Amino acid sequence: MADSKKIEAVKDLKDLGAATDVAPVEEKAAAPEAKAEKKEPKIDDLGRAYATGRRKESVARVWLKKGKGQVVVNGKTQDQYFGRQTHLLVLNQPFLIVDRVNAFDIICTVKGGGLSGQAGAVRHGISRALENMEPELRPALKKAGMLTRDARVVERKKIGKHKARRSKQWAKR
């Protein structure tokens, strides 16, 4: 019975010339289509995509271009610059995630921090440059957490403590 009253009320509104809820529904349907626009790659005149990556105190500037998979970090190959195998694995993670191993050449400069932070900064820069080169790779990189800047940094030392949290030694007797 309540439903019939609602239907009659809607009919009365239509008779009065009131706007129905059809127009807002069409506007809502048009919004996702506008959101689904294809993003354009951000590539310079030389066919390179640029991005900046950060981790701890390190900042990496990364240029990515189509090639054979050569990685040059501060004028050295990745094997010469990063001695540990774990750093090389971290560096190449974005390519493994999107199946683009040996598809791009990378030239990067990295400053600050230690080797671990620098490897993380280069990885972040490579991920962002891959997104700039091929925007359709964004969902895979985002899901893997490659585009998110790792905000963890060293905690500062506090007054009256040996380090950030280490208290001075206390003896009962």
Query: Which pLDDT does position 27 carry in this prediction?
Result: 46
Query: Which pLDDT does position 28 carry in this prediction?
Result: 46
Q: What is the CATH number of domain 53-144?
A: 3.30.230.10
Q: Indicate the pTM of the whole model.
A: 0.75
* pLDDT per residue of the chain (173 residues) written in tens, 0 to 9: 565 655 565 455 455 454 444 444 444 445 555 555 788 888 888 999 999 999 999 999 999 999 999 999 999 999 999 989 999 999 999 999 999 999 999 999 999 999 999 999 999 999 999 999 999 999 999 999 999 999 999 999 999 999 999 999 999 98
Interior angle at CA 87, CA 116 and CA 155, nearest 5: 20
How far apart, in whole angstroms, are the C-alpha atoms of residue 143 and residue 162? 40
Query: Which pLDDT does position 33 carry in this prediction?
Result: 52
Query: Which pLDDT does position 5 carry in this prediction?
Result: 58
Enumerate the domain spans of the chain: 53-144
Query: Which pLDDT does position 41 carry in this prediction?
Result: 86
To the nearest 10°, report the CA torsion of 99, 105, 49, 57: 90
Interior angle at CA 22, CA 18 and CA 23, nearest 5: 85
